[in-house]
Amino acid sequence: MIIKNSNLSYETSISTNQDLTFNYISSAFEEIDINIDNNSIKSNLHMINVQDKYTNLALLLSDQNPFTLRIATYDSSEKNNFLDRKEFGGSLLEIYDKTLDYLKLNSATYGLIDESIRKDIEEYPEFVLREIILNSLIHRDYSTLTSNIINIYKNTGIEFISYGSLYGNITLDDILTGVSTSRNPYL
């Protein structure tokens, strides 16, 4: 409530954990020639404040990120029988990568033959999965230690549950007309 009614944000507040490592995102950033260990880079990414203290954004990107994403696969939407369940932790980037890989692995690809040409059609196109996973991680409320949840119902659909209410006095009607707000603008 204090964060909501002030100019503070979860992302820019100082992390209570200052013993952070960034092994996962360091290798990802290395591939594009960015050294995440450089303090000016960390500052530009809002991972450290002016006193060189790690922010909560750094916590989310670190290997010590306390938030997880849970996936449950069911044979039907009644949720009577688990087929599989996974929990992914670590850096938000690691959670994103592992979740995308898992969902692609659990998404069927169908072959459609039109005359003499075969087209592969994904049950859930990768670009759609990427967007939904990113939105569930970026726009969630990190002020409470809960997990994002994905329920896969075989042959029925996928349900994404991300913690937090609509942000910034926005309404459902606003969203349907294209208005958006950002709870975590630096993420």
* Euclidean distance between CA atoms 96 and 136, whole angstroms: 10
The domain segmentation of the chain, as residue ranges, is 1-64, 69-176
Residues 47, 91, 124: CA angle, nearest 5 degrees? 125
pLDDT by residue, tens only, the chain of 187 residues: 554 555 668 899 999 999 999 999 999 999 999 888 888 889 998 999 989 999 999 999 999 999 999 999 998 888 888 899 999 999 999 999 999 999 998 887 778 887 778 888 888 889 999 999 999 999 899 988 889 999 999 878 899 998 877 777 777 787 788 877 778 889 8
Question: Could you tell me if 102 and 72 are in contact, meaning their C-beta atoms sit under 8 angstroms apart?
Answer: no
* Euclidean distance between CA atoms 104 and 148, whole angstroms: 18
| pTM to 2 decimal places | 0.85
Alpha helices in 31-160, H assignment, sequence order: 39-44, 56-61, 92-105, 126-138
Question: Which residue type does 182 have?
Answer: S
